[in-house]
C-alpha cells in the first residue's frame, strides 16, 4: 500500500472530508488489502456511532405500475413483458398492520411512479396507518410535487427514500428519458425542507460509470446531508434496453457502503436486497462493512414476483412471517442485535433536537 493511500485512509478515519480527486484515486484502487482495511474501519465507525442494533423496515411494494421509463428498471413504462398489479388501499393498510404485528417499527411504502395513488388517496392511507399504529411511515414513490410531499408529511409520513441514482448529470440524463439530476435533487431538497427524514443513494456499476462518478455520488450524499443511504449493484434486467450490459460488482458495492459509513458516521445505511440477491451472504457481508439496516419484504406473496425491478430478486417465494424469522437469524449470525422502535437515524435525531421536531428540515 503506497504512503499516499495510507495517508488518505488515515484522513478518512479522522473524519476529514476528502476531495473529489482523493476519493477518485481511492476508488480506483484494486488492491484487496486496502479495501479490507477500509471495511474494518467502517465496521468500527458503525459500532462506535450507531451501535450494534440493526433496524428493520417492513417493505410493502404496493404497485408496479410506473409512468417513468428508466433504462435500467424492470418496472419501466415500456416493459410490456411485466404483468402489472396494484394493492387496494385497504390491503396496503392491512399489510402495514401485519408489519406492526411482526414487530417492525417502520413500513416502507414503495411503488413505481403510479398516479393512480393520488395525493388524496395516499394521504388517506397514511392517516389510517398512523391512526391505528405507532409505525413510522417511509414513502418511496418517486418524483411528485411539493404540495403532494407537503400533504403526506402533514398526514404523518415520516421519511422518504428517493435515490439520486447517479450524480453525473449526463449519465443521469441518458438513463432517465425526459428527466434531469437537477429535478431529482430539487425533490430531495424539498423533502428535506418539509422535515422528512430523507434517503438518497445510487447504483454501482451502471454502464458508463467511472471511479470519478462514484466519488461524486459519495460527495453528493455529504452535500445533501441525507439521513439514509441506499446503495446497490446495478443488475441488468433482460426486459430493458440495458439487458446486455455488465452488472455491478458485489465487492465494489460493499466498498462503497464502507466509504459511505466513513463519510457519514451517524446515517442509517441498509444492506440492500440487491446485495442478498447477488450472494446468499451478501447482506451479512454488507452489515459487517458499515451497514445497520435491513428491509425485509412484507408484500403479499402473490405480488412479490411481479415487483421485478431486476432478475433474481430474493424472498419472492416467502410470506412475511418467514422473512421475519430469517432476517432475525441473519442479524444474530453477525453478532448484532435487532433494533426496536422506529429506528430513526442518529443524524436525524440530532438534527431534530437542534431545530425542534417541526423544523428538522433546516
| Residues in contact with ligand SAH by the rule CB under 6 A | 72-73, 110, 112-113, 140, 142, 162-163, 165, 203, 232, 234-235, 237, 274, 309-310
Minimum distance of ligand SAH from residue 132's CB (angstroms)? 25
Minimum distance of ligand SAH from residue 115's CB (angstroms)? 12
Strands of the chain (E only): list them: 53-56, 58-63, 106-111, 136-140, 159-161, 197-204, 228-233, 293-294, 337-338
Closest CA to 331 of 287, 289, 274, 267: 287
* Backbone torsions φ then ψ of 225, nearest 5 degrees: 55, 45
Minimum distance of ligand SAH from residue 159's CB (angstroms)? 13
Q: Which is nearer to ligand SAH, 75 or 129 (CB)?
A: 75
Q: Which is nearer to ligand SAH, 25 or 66 (CB)?
A: 66
Q: Which is nearer to ligand SAH, 105 or 270 (CB)?
A: 270
Cβ-proximal residues to 139 (8 Å cutoff; 6+ apart), any chain:
108, 109, 122, 126, 152, 157, 159, 160, 161
Q: Which is nearer to ligand SAH, 263 or 309 (CB)?
A: 309
Minimum distance of ligand SAH from residue 113's CB (angstroms)? 5
Minimum distance of ligand SAH from residue 119's CB (angstroms)? 16
Q: Which is nearer to ligand SAH, 26 or 162 (CB)?
A: 162
How many residues are recorded in the chain? 362
* Residue 305: burial class (beta carbons within 10 Å; 0-12, 13-18, 19+): exposed
Amino acid at each position: 500500500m503506497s504512503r499516499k493511500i495510507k495517508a488518505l485512509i488515515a484522513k478518512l478515519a479522522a473524519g476529514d472530508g476528502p476531495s473529489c480527486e482523493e476519493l477518485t484515486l481511492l476508488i480506483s484502487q484494486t488492491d484487496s488489502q486496502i479495501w479490507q482495511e477500509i471495511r474494518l474501519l467502517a465496521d468500527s465507525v458503525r459500532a462506535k456511532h450507531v451501535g450494534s442494533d440493526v433496524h428493520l423496515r417492513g417493505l410493502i411494494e404496493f404497485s408496479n405500475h410506473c409512468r417513468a421509463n428508466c433504462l435500467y428498471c424492470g418496472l419501466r413504462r415500456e416493459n410490456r413483458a411485466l404483468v402489472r398489479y396494484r394493492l387496494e388501499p385497504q390491503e396496503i393498510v392491512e399489510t402495514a398492520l401485519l408489519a406492526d404485528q411482526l414487530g417492525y417499527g417502520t413500513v416502507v411504502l414503495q411503488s413505481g411512479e403510479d398516479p393512480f395513488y393520488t395525493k388524496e388517496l395516499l394521504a388517506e392511507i397514511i392517516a389510517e396507518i398512523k391512526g391505528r399504529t405507532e409505525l413510522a411511515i417511509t414513502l418511496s414513490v418517486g418524483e411528485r410535487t411539493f404540495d403532494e410531499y407537503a400533504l403526506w408529511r402533514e398526514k404523518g409520513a415520516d421519511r422518504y427514500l428517493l435515490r439520486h441514482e447517479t450524480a453525473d448529470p449526463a449519465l443521469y440524463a441518458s438513463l432517465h428519458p425526459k428527466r434531469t439530476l437537477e429535478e431529482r435533487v430539487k425533490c430531495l431538497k424539498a423533502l428535506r425542507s418539509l422535515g422528512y427524514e430523507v434517503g438518497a443513494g445510487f447504483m454501482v456499476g451502471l454502464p458508463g460509470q467511472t471511479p470519478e462518478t462514484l466519488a461524486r455520488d459519495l460527495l453528493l450524499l455529504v452535500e445533501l446531508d441525507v439521513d439514509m443511504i441506499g446503495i446497490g449493484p446495478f443488475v441488468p434486467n433482460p426486459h430493458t434496453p440495458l439487458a446486455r450490459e455488465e452488472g455491478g460488482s458485489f465487492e465494489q458495492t460493499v466498498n462503497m457502503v464502507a466509504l459511505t459509513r466513513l463519510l457519514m458516521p451517524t446515517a442509517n445505511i441498509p444492506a440492500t436486497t440487491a446485495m442478498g440477491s447477488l450472494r446468499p451472504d451478501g447482506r451479512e457481508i454488507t452489515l459487517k462493512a458499515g451497514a445497520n439496516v435491513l428491509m425485509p419484504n412484507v408484500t403479499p406473496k402473490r405480488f412479490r414476483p411481479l415487483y421485478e425491478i431486476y432478475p433474481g430478486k430474493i424472498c419472492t417465494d416467502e410470506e412475511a412471517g418467514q422473512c421475519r424469522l430469517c432476517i432475525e437469524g441473519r442479524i444474530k449470525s453477525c453478532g448484532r442485535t435487532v433494533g426496536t422502535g422506529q429506528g430513526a437515524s442518529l443524524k436525524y435525531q440530532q438534527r431534530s433536537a437542534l431545530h425542534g421536531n417541526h423544523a428538522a428540515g433546516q
